[in-house]
A and B are shown apart, each in its own frame.
Chain A
Amino acid sequence: MSRATIRRRSRPGLAGYGLPILSFVVGIALWELICRVFKVPAFLFPPPSAIAQIYFTGRIDWIGQTLVTLNEALFGLVIGVAVGFLIALVITLSSVLNKILMPYIVALQVLPKVAIAPILYIILGFSNTSRILLIVILTFFPIVINTSTGLTDVDRNLVHLLKSLGASDRTVFWKVRLPNSLPYFFDGLKIGVSGALVGAIVAEFVSSSSGLGFLILNSQYTFNTTAAFGAFVILTVLGLVLYAGVILLGRRLMPWYRPN
């Protein structure tokens, strides 16, 4: 048998992207057309051309505001991931700590977390800490659940195999549990990145004087709907880039993994 028979499955070609791109372009064109034909005022629903121009008026520091939000989101995400991973380790290694921590983790999960945003800033003040904390709360949970599943849900045969060779629990952890959890961890990270952006925006809604979330809130007060839409576009691009980054990193670190 030749090596060629096990070549990795090819990715969908450009042809597969044709229809989605066409759909997107047509949608934007229709939006512009409808706005112009019915003379929709920009403060009600701005046309794409107006949104495109908003970046060049010079009145808003788009790069600066974007960096504020992105910084918060990434900082919170990193801490949330670290905390989530640690908690996952703790609850899988100790069944006692698992039982002790579980009610809090579950309570935090079922609570719509953005609800606590206004109060967080009473407790922690009008500071970065309260904003970061909200993002951490939004991101750590999927990491905890996914990673702990990955650490526990291992092939029992592999554990038997290692044990029969005299391996310690520590060896089983390093050789089986940890690598097994990697794809699960990345699934959690995918949910985490969108959570980080949600957290950053909500945190800015309730307690900030900068960032895209603050900009959107401010646009509401000044009826500058176009600026808000400008922020939406940037947020969409940020979300896409972060998500794609996680997927690319996953492919890099796990060439052996093929999601079904």
Chain B
Amino acid sequence: MTAIVAVKDVGKTYTTVKGDEVVALEDISLSVQKEETVAIVGPSGCGKSTLLRLIAGVEKQTDGKIERSTDDGRFVVGYVFQDSSLMRWRTVYDNIKLPLEVTNKHNYEKIDQLIEMIGMKGFEKAYPIELSGGMQRRVSIARAFVHEPSIVLMDEPFTGVDELTKEALQHELGTMIRNLHATAMLVTHDIEEAVFLSDRIFVMSRRPGRIVEEVPVKLPAERDPSMRSRLEFFEAAKRVREKLLSIRAMSVDLEAGTP
């Protein structure tokens, strides 16, 4: 197995405007194998998004190292954000085209293929303001896959989407990851989302963020909504939930202990 990303003893410390040092991440080690989907679950403010930015290379870690490998020697990420973050001045087609432009790839037929996959044929020329929230998410997902990235990083991709749309989108995303043989890393605070989409789940503690548990998801690679009621689904979800609850209990104790 080849690790696409190997994070080794990584830490990140920020200096605030006042000059205080804030440790956002500490001793993070994990790897993501080729064609694997890994989820990171943790309380808000635990540094999950920071970890994604480090892997993307947008920010630099203060400790440890991140090894990135690829088949063609070029490490490129795809990014899905909490809010779709589309360019409002671009049409659906041109929004999806963006990563191809920036990376100088010209396989524009991929755009049509993805528009087809997200079920938005006929909307190529629509602007983001003309789309529903769910449709905007679909476009931002297509944008993350169009340039065949080494890894797709997803930062709470379905926050603020209504429950039914969310389940449909999760199913579509899972299918897309599998069909495109993509490698993905998902950051979320939604336990069911993590279980449904990933092969392994890392549970992170409150700041400073550390990995406190690794939970394998023993479901078949091919996922469909019926699996949400399988025993393995519940087992994985239960383990993640219990760990998260214990983290919370710990921090409540700490708060209660301070005068």
Contact = CB atoms under 8 A, between A and B. Distances in A.
Interface of A: 3, 6, 8, 155, 157-158, 160-167, 171, 175-176, 179-180, 182, 254-258
Contact of A166 (B88, B103, B126): B103
Nearest to A6: B130
What range describes how many residues of B lie at the interface?
Answer: 20 to 34
Specify the main secondary structure of chain A where it touches its partner: helix
B99 to A, nearest CB: 6
Interface in B39-67: 53, 56-58
A160 B79 contact: yes
A164 B128 CA distance: 23
Contacts of B259: none
Highest count of chain B CB atoms <10 Å: which of A155, A166, A175, A256 = A256
B129 interface: yes
A165 B103 contact: yes
Given A3-B122, A166-B103, A255 B127 contact: yes
B58 to A, nearest CB: 5
B128 A256 contact: yes
A164 B89 contact: no
Contacts of B168: none
Contact of A158 (B53, B57, B87, B91): B87
A256 B81 CA distance: 21
Contacts of B53: 160
Interface string B72-87: 0000110101010101
Contact of A161 (B85, B88, B89, B127): B85
Interface in B121-168: 122-123, 126-131, 147
Given A164-B58, A256-B88, 5 more contacts: A161-B85, A165-B99, A166-B102, A180-B89, A256-B128
B102 A165 contact: yes
Contacts of A160: 53, 56, 58, 79
Contacts of A256: 88-91, 127-129
A223 B85 CA distance: 62
A248 B85 CA distance: 27
30 contacts: A3-B122, A6-B130, A155-B85, A157-B79, A157-B81, A157-B83, A157-B85, A158-B85, A160-B56, A161-B79, A161-B85, A163-B58, A164-B56, A164-B57, A164-B58, A165-B76, A165-B147, A166-B76, A166-B102, A166-B103, A167-B102, A175-B101, A175-B102, A176-B87, A179-B87, A179-B89, A256-B88, A256-B129, A257-B88, A257-B129
Nearest to A164: B56
Interface of B: 53, 56-58, 76-77, 79, 81, 83, 85, 87-91, 98-99, 101-103, 122-123, 126-131, 147
Specify the main secondary structure of chain B where it touches its partner: loop
B123 to A, nearest CB: 7
A258 B99 CA distance: 26
Contacts of A255: 127
Nearest to B89: A179
B56 to A, nearest CB: 4
A156 to B, nearest CB: 9
A26 to B, nearest CB: 38
Rank and list the top 9 A-B pairs by shortest CB-CB distance, nearest first.
A157-B85, A256-B127, A164-B56, A6-B130, A165-B102, A179-B89, A157-B81, A160-B58, A161-B79
Contacts of B103: 165-166
Given A6-B123, A157-B85, A176-B87, A164 B79 contact: yes
B58 A182 contact: no
A6 B79 CA distance: 26
Contacts of A166: 76, 102-103
Highest count of chain B CB atoms <10 Å: which of A157, A161, A179, A182 = A161
A161 B82 CA distance: 13
A6 B58 contact: no
